[in-house]
Chains A and B, each alone.
Chain A
């Protein structure tokens, strides 16, 4: 019966995921066909295929979903999204789950514990300078999240420096204050939405 199928898909957690996506991800249309997982280049390394993860979201398995490495191993190649017969915005769901995992404090406990730190370090640099700063990103990410691996990255860094492919200092945009004002306003809008 159609009603029971749609009821089973409307756990609180399911509605939360849909609401947090930038536009309607059409997640309720999932047929469980598995085209997504079959198309995924990092599928074999994921705890759960995207198909399984969507069933878990429908079942309200919040904890298991937000601890999964699946969203963090998504490489944003959009094969799944292109091939999905129901046109579900799968990649956007993956980004949404990453944000929810960070917000709920699960990020360090996922089975891909390095990924959230990398994303956060990248964002901090962009918020401070307006542009990405690779040397700073890699240095800070490795020193604060993976100190033992820092030496492994040294040859790559030296190779990039030698070929003049790495800046030694950031290049901030001219109107960094304008960008910061925009991002601060976005924070206020987010905070206001939390209260309602």
Chain B
């Protein structure tokens, strides 16, 4: 199986663990993701708030590049473009959808693209989310056959967030209110899936930068819901959800006086661990809330070393000349 692959800005660095783990898992499953050459940002939720035509042209450049690369020069085949990030997936599929609906918009977009020697015909690509490919193309059976180290005993809250399941444009593959595909995928890996009623609720997206109070309350609800059902961790399929729940968890704790310590991992990281890959190969260790204690309990990661008390540099009070020192390892 071969797909065009649109990583998106987050996977380059901030959600590097998502990229590393999905590539490692794809290699195990024999799936090839060919990165779209020289792709640009999808505009997230910001660009469309500033200008309409430029936002659509920005996304369409990616669609044009992907169609040229995956459909071949004659454009005969209808290639598939896979995005692991929910926002990228939404923007690519939505622009394709709206261009199909509006010939006037398509005309303007293609006029703009022509300035860069490109054009795009709406509908000439299938834009899909990574989870869709994993559960519907690869399939649960093949995933089950690849599992070497079932995640038995791990209680997982499956978190879908918004944009993969809503709105119901083409290439939606799960229920918009109560999706279950990630639940089943996690069960296939041997994990225990807890009930998670807020599984498709919003993490707040960019709201941490607009109104911190509104954002932290949205994040708190999700953490509380997972804690109420005694989840060992929340598993997600979106870089923004991961960042909000992970990096802002301490802010939630200090604002609400809570003591949540819930690790947030990408679903591909758990797939990799269940396939027998070592934690480092799937980017474990990049999260703010350390996932290793939970993973060590089920034997999927080496037990964490007892956390050493932060070393303070001893005050120098000897009067001898300073000697050269090796810089301390990180």
Interface residues of A (CB under 8 A from B): 20, 22-23, 41-42, 45, 72-73, 75-79, 81-82, 91, 95-96, 98-99, 102, 112, 114-116, 118-120, 122-123, 126, 130-132, 134, 138, 141, 156, 159-160, 163-167, 171, 173-175, 178-179, 181-187, 189-190
Contact = CB atoms under 8 A, between A and B. Distances in A.
B116 A130 contact: no
Nearest to A134: B14
Interface of B: 9-10, 12-16, 38-41, 43-54, 56-58, 61, 98, 101-102, 105, 108, 111-118, 162-163, 166-168, 176-177, 201-202, 204-207, 209-211, 213-214, 218, 247-248, 285-288
Nearest to B117: A178
Contacts of A112: 210-211
Contacts of A186: 51, 53-54, 57, 108, 112
A20 B55 CA distance: 13
B93 to A, nearest CB: 12
Contact of A23 (B44, B105, B204): B105
Contact of A171 (B12, B47, B210): B12
B49 A99 contact: yes
A85 to B, nearest CB: 14
Contacts of B166: 77-79, 81-82
Nearest to A190: B53
A14 to B, nearest CB: 18
A20 B52 contact: yes
Contact of A182 (B118, B176, B209, B247): B118
Residue of A42, A114, A132 with most partner-chain B CB within 10 A: A132
12 contacts: A22-B102, A45-B211, A75-B207, A77-B162, A77-B163, A82-B176, A99-B51, A102-B50, A118-B46, A179-B40, A181-B116, A187-B54
Nearest to A116: B49
Contacts of A99: 48-52
Contact of A167 (B13, B49, B54): B13
A182 B118 CA distance: 9
A190 B54 CA distance: 9
A95 B48 CA distance: 6
Nearest to A187: B54
A73 B210 contact: yes
B214 A82 contact: no
A75 B204 contact: yes
B167 A183 contact: no
B54 A183 contact: yes
B40 A130 contact: yes
Nearest to A157: B247
A67 B43 CA distance: 24
- Majority secondary structure of chain A interface residues (helix, strand, loop or mixed): helix
A26 to B, nearest CB: 12
B24 to A, nearest CB: 17
Nearest to A98: B49
Contacts of A118: 46, 206, 209-210
Contacts of B201: 41, 77
Contacts of B51: 99, 123, 186, 190
Contact of A132 (B41, B218, B285): B41
A180 to B, nearest CB: 9
A-B pairs with lowest CB-CB distance, top 6: A185-B115, A77-B202, A78-B166, A122-B46, A178-B116, A132-B9
Given A23-B101, A122-B47, A114 B210 contact: yes
Contacts of A171: 12
A75 B203 CA distance: 9
Nearest to B9: A132
B162 A78 contact: yes
Given A23-B105, A82-B166, A165 B16 contact: yes
Contacts of A130: 40-41
A89 to B, nearest CB: 8
Given A175-B38, A183-B112, A82 B52 contact: no
A182 B57 contact: yes
Contacts of B288: 159, 163
B52 A119 contact: no
Contacts of A131: 9, 12, 40-41
